[in-house]
Chains A and B, each alone.
Chain A
Amino acid sequence: MRFRPDAQDIFAGVMFIAFAALMLYLNFESHPIGTARRMGSGYMPMLAFGLLAALGLAILIGGLFTGPEPIGRFAWRDMALILGATTVFGLSVERLGFVVSISLCILIASLAEKTWKPLRVLGLTLFLLALCWAVFIWYLDIRIRLFPWSH
């Protein structure tokens, strides 16, 4: 077999190994393992993450020869905006209420579009506010504060 690294597999292998190693460490630190006959709370995590580490190693080693499969480019900007919009919603929904947090979420998310059209975004925000209000508040009556000043 020739050395032909596959970036995807190598990354995946390293990721699985790192995750498994961290969890195994935490597991040995804090959970009694017990025996196969009397399993402690750490027994199953040990099996699962042990197996995961082994599989990660297999993927890593396999990845050295099955390439090349490059990892595609990361759309950092799109990702940051989408995840950021969702995070902002989560942070603001309880304090600032439904209307403000949804508007913020849409505003931030809309920046991911290549050409940002203010009027279109405004229209969308108003439409979605109305739709979400109708669906979630009026129809399903979920418990959520509407405005920063509402009860």
Chain B
Amino acid sequence: MLENLIYGFGVAATFQNLSACFIGALLGTAIGVLPGIGPLATISLLLPLTFGMPSTTAIIMLAGIYYGAQYGGSTTSILMNLPGEVSSVITTLDGYQMAKNGQAGPALAVAAIGSFIAGCVATLVVAIAGPLLTAVALSFGPADYFSLMLLGLIVASVLSEGNVVKSIAMMIAGVGIGLVGTDVQTGQQRFTFDIPELSDGIGFAPMAMGMFGIAEVIRNLEMPEVREALKTRISRLWLTGEEWRRVAAPIARGTTLGTLVGILPGGGAALSSMGAYTLERRVSRNKHLFGKGAIEGVAAPESANNAAAQTSFIPLLTLGIPANAVMALMIGALIIQGIQPGPRMIEAQPDLFWGLIASMWLGNLMLVVINLPLIGMWVRLLKVPYDLMYPAILVFCAIGVYSLNNNNFDVFVTVVFAFLGYLFSKIGCPPAPMLIGFVLGPMMEEHLRRAMLLSRGDPMVFLERPISATLLVLAVIAVAAMAIPSLRKGKEEALHQA
């Protein structure tokens, strides 16, 4: 084991591979920061470049882009309320609030540090237990996934502050919007109105850019005071001793959760950061601060999503199966190189396997080194006068969204959701649960119907399978935990009023 790792460092530490790792990490950070353009778009643009590279170098660079983007993605979420992917939606909840409170520095710092720690731990897990954990991923059948998604949705409904019924309604509405497009089980077009662009569903990025980023621009324009607050109340860049104490446990819990959930192909990233956030809200001593700028609410999900980003390599490395769209591209990159990803790769291409693992460590280290000094610059970005800032945000969002599919339809989708996002803010409907429902809902449906098809319509399959049954029990507990305090509170309020 140890000698393998040392061997891997030998591979990763060559000048060529180090620079590939550095370029990847840097590029990843850059594209993570740009709204709209995610790791998927960038890796696909860069793919042809890797044709000419040695395979190990190529994959090290692509991996660097992938986890670099996880770092960069938190930056815009915190500074501008612009989440690039599902996992960053969670970061906006408290991260952007911290920025509004003048704590952008500590928020960015804790995101970087949490990601670093999580990345290191998760990489170790990939190296040691990768093949073993594959079995876990394979033991999840459709029934188990359904129960997991159901649990995820229930957990998501308590994400935001305020009226729980409205949160749940937003989430269900998100599920409904997620159903637009081709039905996986029948191929039928649902709610597409004969628009071909809708046949693959509404894109996540246009929806998130609109509802969060651009709607926020409109809100800031109408409230100049908030803009001023963002600008003037910038304090320190680093964490205080007190904050260090507050984030230690959340980072540890987030890392653990992210490492485990990341292994599951499909939905791992979204569930991990959401789960970590909800867990913290339950166990934290600072529950009342959540949603108002709790540093724990940034530390835990950021750690979780970076841990999940690393462990999502496990199905790729051990089975040759992609856990998400980015991983599918990585497989494409490997296949171009004439390498078949899978368990044999560890023996057949030890350079590649151990070199990649070692480079993940080095890459995480580089990312911290790149990102910590940048915090000062990012925070200073907030001081840019808003009349110069918002057209820039708008233009970057628009180009980013357009370039996703080279299709202006996505730009129009962004406009619609920007309007809705603004409307929702006026009537007290939180957008985060909608995005979560949008992502998890269709997956839940898909697994539900697949499970029912395979069991020939026998619903007992959800209770007979131990994993599924356990998750369902957790879901029931979650509902109870949610319902009891609010019932009690309702009673108290009623008594007060009486």
Interface, chain A (partner B; CB < 8 A): 8-9, 11-12, 15-16, 19-20, 23, 26-27, 31, 35-45, 48-49, 51-52, 55-56, 58-59, 62, 69, 71-75, 78-79, 82-83, 85-87, 89-91, 93-94, 98, 102, 105-106, 109-110, 112-113, 120, 124, 128, 131-132, 135-136, 139-144
Contact = CB atoms under 8 A, between A and B. Distances in A.
A59 B449 contact: no
B133 interface: no
B408 interface: yes
B408 A93 contact: yes
Contact of B173 (A26, A52, A73): A52
Given A74-B426, A135-B34, A59 B172 contact: no
Contacts of B445: 44
B286 interface: no
Contacts of A49: 176
A41 B411 contact: no
Sort A-B residue pairs by CB-CB distance and give the 8 closest, nearest first. Answer: A37-B457, A90-B411, A75-B222, A55-B169, A41-B183, A142-B403, A78-B221, A90-B408
Interface string B378-422: 000000000110111011111100110010100110110011001
Given A62-B165, A83-B418, A110 B387 contact: yes
B172 A140 contact: no
Interface in B128-167: 163, 165-166
B327 interface: no
Contact of A132 (B165, B218, B395): B395
Contacts of A140: 31, 37, 42, 45, 403
Contact of A12 (B169, B191, B397): B169
A94 B410 CA distance: 13
B403 A136 contact: yes
Nearest to A94: B408
Contacts, number: 184
A62 B164 CA distance: 12
B45 A9 contact: no
Contacts of B449: 39, 43-44
B185 interface: yes
7 contacts: A8-B427, A8-B428, A31-B188, A59-B163, A69-B428, A120-B387, A140-B37
Contacts of B179: 44-45, 48
B240 interface: no
B251 to A, nearest CB: 32
A89 B414 CA distance: 12
Nearest to B422: A79
Contact of A45 (B31, B176, B406, B422): B176
B172 A8 contact: no
Contact of B399 (A44, A51, A124, A136): A136
Contacts of B168: 55
A23 B390 contact: no
Contacts of A52: 169, 172-173, 176
B69 interface: no
A16 B169 contact: yes
B301 to A, nearest CB: 26
Contacts of A40: 186
B408 A91 contact: yes
A113 B190 contact: no
Contact of B411 (A12, A86, A135): A86
B394 A105 contact: yes
A128 B165 contact: no
A51 B172 contact: yes
B391 A86 contact: no
B217 interface: yes
A79 B449 CA distance: 41
A132 B221 contact: no
Given A59-B163, A83-B418, 13 more contacts: A26-B191, A35-B457, A37-B458, A39-B448, A41-B186, A55-B168, A73-B222, A79-B218, A82-B418, A86-B214, A90-B411, A142-B406, A144-B403
Contacts of B398: 86, 89-90, 93, 105
